[in-house]
Amino acid sequence: MTTVVELEVPSDRLGASRAFEQIPGLEFRVDGGLGYVPPLVEVCGPDRRAVESALEADPSLEVVATVGGNARDQRWLFQIAFGRDLNLFAQLVSEANGVIVTAGVSDRTWSLELLFERRAAVSRAYELLDRYDFPVTVRRMMSVDDTGVRSTLTETQYETVVAAYERGYFDVPREVTLRELAAELDVSHQALSERLRRGQAALVSEELLDRSEPTAEKR
């Protein structure tokens, strides 16, 4: 099952921090993936010359070309070659059989969406990023099945709910108690209870948002 991971990395580790020092409200959005070819980057800033000056003063990137922009929306399009840190990040994700789907920067923080074909590859990517001192904060992890349906759960919530389901915790009558399941997972009774509640809340929220009409009740 494909896994989508949304995470954040500070700009002082990934790049563009100097530009943010000059224009604190600067925002980036990378069009397309990050790879060997410098991508097109939409930059939101006060005016083209100020933005271009801030970008050119940042040693972590190079403005390859100024493509265009819209003065009314204060959005400018550049082709930008990013430096060693972002390229290393992309390389590590690739080594873990992952792909950077989207990337953007605001409030001095990079927000990225990564795609992995196997959930085990997520752990591999995290190990590699940690080894090279990338301070990653995972905001959301979703499993996507062959139909494109996403499960909005964190990795811990996903693993806990799956374990509870496989052991018969949700069966009627239950095949395992909360305390027994907590012992098997080597967590406290309270911690397991909180994980299950949050996981169930995420699933219920997703179900209510995605369905306009309930399915027929099974009897």
Q: Exposure pattern of 161-190 as b/e (b: 16+ CB <10 Å)?
A: bebbeebebeeeeeebeeeebbeebebeee
The token pair that represents 168 in the structure block: 């018969």
pLDDT for 15 equals 92
pLDDT at 215: 47
Nearest to 113 by CA among 73, 141, 134, 132: 141
Q: What is the 3-state secondary structure (H, E, C) of 79-99?
A: EEEECHHHHHHHHHHHHCCEE
Q: Are 112 and 129 in contact (CB under 8 A)?
A: no
| pLDDT at position 91 | 93
CB distance 115 to 164 below 8 Å: no
Q: Where are the domains of the chain?
A: 2-143, 153-210
Q: What integer pLDDT is reported at residue 43 of this predicted model?
A: 93
Residues of the chain with pLDDT under 50: 146-148, 209-215, 217-219
The confidence score (pLDDT) of residue 212 equals 45
CATH of range 153-210; options 1.10.3210, 3.40.50, 1.10.10, 1.10.3470: 1.10.10
pLDDT of the residue at 147: 45
